[in-house]
Amino acid sequence: MKIKTQFRINILISICLALVVGGILFYADRRIDAEMEKNWLADRITKSVFDLHILTSSYLLYREERLMMQWNLNLASLKKMIKEAKRDSKDIDDNLKIISQRSAEMEGLFEKIISYAGRLDNAPRQEAALIREAYSRLITNLTAKGQEMVSRAFLLIQESNKNLSSVKRGAFLLVMVSIIFAIVISGLTSHLLSGRIVTSIRHLQKGTETVAGGDLNYRLDVRSDDEIGRLALAFNVMTQRLSESERAREEYVRKLAQSNRDLEDFAFIASHDLQEPLRKIQAFGDRLKEKHGEGIGEEGRDYLHRMQNAALRMQALIQALLSYSRVTTRPEPFSTVSLGLLVRQALSDLTARIEQAGARIEVNDLPSVEASPHQMRQLFQNLLSNALKYRREERPVIKVSGKHMHNPPPKKGARRVRILVEDNGIGFDEKYLDRIFQPFQRLHGRGHYEGTGMGLAICRKIVERHGGTITAKSTPGKGATFIITLPTKQKPAETLALSKAGKDEEGIASV
């Protein structure tokens, strides 16, 4: 018999057992519900009897119309509940029968007491003694029947509680027996499926654990041609491919590590070896201009000036390239930061340029996010610098605002915030939107606006490192709006890895 067929039989038996156990559970639940309904009704009858007894005593004491009306209403409610209890039960409890009889008798006695009470107030003196004696006997009889009803009601609730407990015990035993029966049958069917199947599965489990432990050269001994045999063959193929993939991954990691070391070497050269000749060009150019400026003539001074300007641009490009690479090669650990505070710090760094441009800056309330404080500050500083740089003749107005996004977050992701940086500058054509975020890309020549073309590229790299996006909307001559979305929380594993990478980079730099 095929393994699939055996499992189908086992599933069919399990379904039958589940249906049997479910039916027993349903039957037990219905029994308990029915008995609880009876118990609840008995409790209401008992309470009504006690209330009727108290109202009887109160009326006999005060003889108020309101108490008489309450007594009649309570008696009507009691009769209704007794009738309901008789309808729902095949075997009427003796206590309930007696309560039903006494309630009818009390109704007649109560009517007579009301009648005698009216006659007692208006009767002649000769008849008053006889009426008072009869009235007293009626009260005694009514009180006795009320007390008997209270006793029977107490016995009724006791008997109901006892029946409820008995039904619960019976239901519990029935359920336990059905569960034990299901366990025994399931155990027998499981035992029939043991042997070769279970042993083969154990071999597969052992192989899986071995491969999970790192031994990708482990292979299973395939001896059968059934489903388990084909599974073992697939397992061997999988481990073979995993072994090949692991070797390729190790080679890739080795090359990536070498590439990272080359990048670090390049950054070191760019920050020291390449900048040193530029500084010497500047220094010797200044000396040449100072000592031999008159001798080289006007054309020579122009060439010298151009050479120094080119050296300054080269130095600025190297610094911009270093800033771009350090976004990921020297990451700062994430922490919860206030974006509003970082914007104010960036504005403090740009105070001179703001005053020079006469700009008005409006900053609304900004949320807090988990991010790198230094890189967030650099992000805002670059965007604000762009807004101040690409301005029109009228007074620059820059607005910074942000809010939480209400759309559902990605699967297992954090909530996100949206930050807007708006200006009334020269703007740009949106067909160049992808271009402005590329390194060294400029929409204007150096003669119009200064810069290296790396500011927005650094902004995009910072935002992407934080798991966000940056884009812009603009119309030429009507300003631009840069739109940034950031998660409020970073993934724990990602945060830990970046924090560790930052410490490793600091260690490399210190060495």
Determine, yes or no, domain membership for 95.
Answer: yes
Q: Which domain holds residue 355?
A: 332-510
- For residues 188 and 209, membership in a common domain is answered with no
- For residues 177 and 232, membership in a common domain is answered with no
- For residues 143 and 206, membership in a common domain is answered with no
- For residues 134 and 246, membership in a common domain is answered with no
Type of residue numbered 228 = I
Q: 361's torsion region: left (phi>0), alpha (psi -120 to 50) or beta?
A: beta
> Does 225 or 350 have the greater pLDDT score?
350
| 171, 192, 213 - which closes a domain | 192
Across residues 141-157, what is the average pLDDT? 84
Give the containing element (helix H, strand E) for 461: helix 455-465
Determine, yes or no, domain membership for 495.
Answer: yes
CA 304 to chain centre: 65
| 173, 192, 211 - which closes a domain | 192
Residue given tokens 């605002």 in the structure block: 401
Determine, yes or no, domain membership for 266.
Answer: no
Determine, yes or no, domain membership for 244.
Answer: yes
Q: Tell me the average pLDDT of the chain.
A: 78
DSSP code string of 279-341: HHHHHHHHHHHHHHTTTSHHHHHHHHHHHHHHHHHHHHHHHHHHHHHHHHHSPPPPEEEEHHH
Q: Are 390 and 443 spatial neighbours (Cβ–Cβ below 8 Å)?
A: no
* Residue 101, pLDDT score: 85
- For residues 133 and 7, membership in a common domain is answered with yes
CA 443 to chain centre: 44
> Does 255 or 502 have the greater pLDDT score?
255
Helix H segments across 63-124?
65-88, 94-122
Across residues 167-173, what is the average pLDDT? 87
CA nearest 196: which of 6, 399, 412, 345? 6
Determine, yes or no, domain membership for 428.
Answer: yes
Across residues 283-305, what is the average pLDDT? 77
Angle made by CA atoms 331, 332, 334, in degrees to the nearest 5: 120
> Does 127 or 420 have the greater pLDDT score?
420
Give the number of domains in the chain: 3
At 345, which CATH number?
3.30.565.10
Determine, yes or no, domain membership for 275.
Answer: no
- For residues 240 and 159, membership in a common domain is answered with no
- For residues 188 and 223, membership in a common domain is answered with no
- For residues 352 and 441, membership in a common domain is answered with yes
pLDDT in tens, 451-509: 566 778 888 888 988 889 999 998 888 889 999 999 988 876 444 444 444 433 333 22
The whole-model pTM stands at: 0.43
> Does 420 or 199 have the greater pLDDT score?
420
